[in-house]
DNA sequence: GACTGATTGTTGAGATATCAACTACCTCTA
DNA sequence: TAGAGGTAGTTGATATCTCAACAATCAGTC
């Protein structure tokens, strides 16, 4: 019916690299709507999580970084590892960490085994900040996401994401 | 085992508004991992879609806007409607449209029935741009997402997103 | 050891997004 | 019709992200 995002109405395919011959396989309504709904959900959800955190003085991104650090016994993590785990560009990690350093939430430390490397280390202040924010944050995630879903749906998400991520990793370079 | 993002290690809950009494209900490993994987998937996927579009001169955001416009018979859409459909702040829509106007992809038009309102209207050039980009984009969405999933998984996504979005809408204001 | 190519992280410039005003208009009520 | 409160959209300042370039180091090979 509607053809937003992947318009079925557009029929004059030009410069079509991936489907060099003939008509491309357009998405069905169901496929298109599912992708749209998922994108919208993710946007609204992260916006909501961020706004619920606002009282704590942490952004959702700050929280994510600090949570990553508390996962390590020594409260530290390599920049490159953040980049991978969060799906952030390395420069994004670097810039964001710089900002967090200015606020006293984390520190940088050099890596003894790889002299190029740098650790991000959580400070006491950073630890206090996430400890204060965590219960409220988890409650928000529950209220707006987890508690709305059946266990099977959580499993479905995991399976889907794993499949997609594995495929992305397998095709890192090619277009 | 791991406790990233929602550290089970953090036990000293303070300032906990949402769970005023006692220990918060932390997320299980499965719940935490599923949410993390989903977030990562979305990030990597949109990054990949954007990078696949790069040859066309359109960003993923540009594509999204143009696709929304081609969905309308007159190739136009209200700013407020974009805001809702894409989950963008209205100022984000406004700024982005301004940039697209400079590139000749869209225009603004006043709304006769609501004099506060503004339409975003696709131009011929905008139409040419998305027509050129669409087949490749759809192919990318298929390659990295849709074609990897069973029909039942697409349905599951739709159901989950609908549930979550409905709940978000129901709790627009309260914290 | 020294060369080559890849990896790690930072930086600065430019692009994009958010936030808080602000204007203009609508809608409802009296 | 006037007023009050809400909605639509823009703007500018600020915050954040991306991209390309760069320096430093690593890993493998000769």
- Digit-coded pLDDT (tens) for B53-92: 999 999 999 999 999 999 999 999 999 999 999 999 999 9
Closest Cα in chain A to B46: A39
B115-143 in b/e form (b: 16+ CB < 10 A) is eeebbbbbbeebbebbbbbbbbbbbbbbb
Segment B153-167 mean pLDDT: 97
- Digit-coded pLDDT (tens) for B8-49: 344 333 434 444 567 889 999 999 999 999 999 999 999 999
Shortest Cα–Cα distance, A113 to chain B (Å): 24
pLDDT value, residue A21? 60
Q: What are the residue ranges in chain A where pLDDT is below 50?
A: 1-19, 174-175
For nucleotide C10, the protein residue with its alpha carbon nearest to C1' is: A94
Q: Which of residues 33-52 of A touch B (CB under 8 A)?
A: 33-35, 37-48, 52
Cα B21 to Cα A130, B7, B15: the distances in Å are 19, 19, 11
Q: Inform me whether the C-beta atom of residue B67 falls under 8 Å from chain A C-beta atoms.
A: yes
pLDDT value, residue B172? 73
CB < 7 Å to strand D — which of 67-96 in chain A? 88-89, 91-92, 95-96
Rg (chain B; Cα; Å)? 21
Which of these, A157, A144, A47, lies nearest to B166 by C-alpha position? A144
CB < 7 Å to strand D — which of 32-51 in chain B? 47, 50-51
Token readout for A143 is 């209220």
* DSSP at B18: S
Round and report the angstrom distance from CA (B54) to C1' (D14). Answer: 28
Q: Report the C-alpha dihedral over residues A98, A99, A101, A104, rounded to 10 degrees.
A: 180
Q: How many Cβ atoms are within 10 Å of A171's Cβ, its own excluded?
A: 12
Going through chain A in order, the beta strands assigned E by DSSP cover: 76-78, 106-110, 118-122
Q: What mean pLDDT, rounded, does chain B reach?
A: 89
């Amino acid at each position: 019916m509607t053809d937003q995002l992947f318009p079925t109405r557009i029929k004059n395919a030009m410069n079509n690299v991936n489907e060099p011959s003939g008509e491309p396989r357009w998405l069905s309504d169901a496929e298109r709507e599912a992708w749209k709904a998922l994108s919208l959900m993710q946007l609204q959800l992260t916006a909501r999580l961020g706004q619920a955190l606002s009282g704590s003085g942490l952004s959702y991104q700050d929280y994510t970084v600090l949570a990553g650090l508390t996962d390590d016994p020594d409260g530290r993590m390599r920049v490159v590892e953040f980049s991978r785990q969060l799906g952030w560009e390395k420069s994004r990690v670097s810039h964001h960490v710089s900002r967090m350093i200015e606020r006293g939430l984390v520190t940088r430390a050099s890596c003894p085994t790889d002299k190029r490397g740098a650790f991000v280390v959580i400070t006491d202040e950073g630890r206090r900040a996430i400890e204060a924010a965590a219960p409220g944050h988890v409650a928000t995630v529950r209220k707006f996401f987890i508690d709305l879903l059946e266990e099977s749906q959580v499993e479905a998400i995991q399976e889907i994401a794993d499949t997609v991520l594995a495929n992305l990793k397998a095709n890192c370079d090619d277009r």
